[in-house]
Amino acid sequence: DIKTATGRKGKALFHPLRLALTGAESGPELAALLPLIGHAKALARLTGPGA
């Protein structure tokens, strides 16, 4: 999992993820956002150009 692979947890883990997924530094919890973004789009944003 990401937490184990990066050695990060809490804000140090979720802040960069939020920024990569939404382009925003703050907002709703990722648990609420991920179903709205969708699995395929989230993966594309995390692995695509500029990731």
HSE (CB half, 13 Å, CA atoms) of 15?
Answer: 6
pLDDT of 48 reads: 84
- Which sequence spans correspond to the domains of the chain? 2-47
pLDDT band at 3 (very low <50, low <70, confident <90, very high): confident
pLDDT per residue as tens digits for the range 4-47: 998 999 999 999 999 999 999 999 999 999 999 999 999 999 99
**C-beta separation of 35 from 21 below 8 A:** no
Residue 50 has pLDDT above 80, yes or no: no
- What distance, in Å, lies between the first and last C-alpha atoms of the chain? 18
- The pTM (predicted TM-score) of the whole model is 0.76
